[in-house]
């Protein structure tokens, strides 16, 4: 029996999933990654962990991560980012500019795509780089 990383694989190939579906999953994957990172640090006060994690997973934080990663992305990954950026969600959070929100969605879409494509090494490489962007800012 083949073991999969997924309890419930997507109903379609990742290439055929709507960008907002990929972003929905990508948001959860990135949040889990960031929480693991925050717990790996020395300070485990809940308020501190929450504030730090919020820097990473906010729309602004995700847009900043995407910007830092753009020159590392393959053409295929850039195409997925563009699909995510151009997806119309119908609403924008109160605390985010429309352009920032679209770039955040593009980042989440890329994460979701890599996750569902089972490209875990590449996903880990990019998420580690994204976390590094914020960790370097926190150290300043």
Just list the catalytic residues.
27
Q: Where are the beta strands (DSSP E) in 24-88?
A: none
Cβ(133)–Cβ(57) below 8 Å? no
Report the first-to-last Cα separation within the chain, whole angstroms. Answer: 50
d(CA 131, CA 53) in angstroms, rounded, equals: 10
Handedness of CA 29, 9, 66, 87 (dihedral sign): negative
Sign of CA dihedral 52, 56, 59, 63: positive
Residue 85: which H helix or E strand, with range?
A: helix 75-86
Q: Could you tell me if 34 and 55 are in contact, meaning their C-beta atoms sit under 8 angstroms apart? A: no
């Amino acid at each position: 029996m083949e073991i999969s990383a997924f309890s419930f694989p997507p109903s379609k190939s990742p290439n055929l999933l709507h960008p907002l579906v990929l972003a929905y999953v990508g948001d959860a994957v990135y949040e889990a990654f960031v929480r693991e990172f925050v717990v790996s640090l020395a300070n485990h006060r809940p308020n501190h962990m929450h504030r730090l994690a919020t820097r990473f997973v906010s729309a602004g934080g995700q847009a900043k991560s995407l910007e830092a990663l753009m020159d590392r992305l393959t053409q295929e990954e850039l195409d997925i980012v563009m699909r995510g950026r151009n997806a119309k969600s119908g609403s924008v959070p109160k605390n985010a500019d429309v352009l920032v929100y679209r770039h955040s969605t593009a980042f989440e879409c890329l994460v979701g795509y890599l996750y569902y494509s089972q490209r875990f090494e590449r996903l880990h490489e990019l998420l580690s780089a994204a976390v590094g962007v914020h960790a370097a800012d926190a150290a300043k």
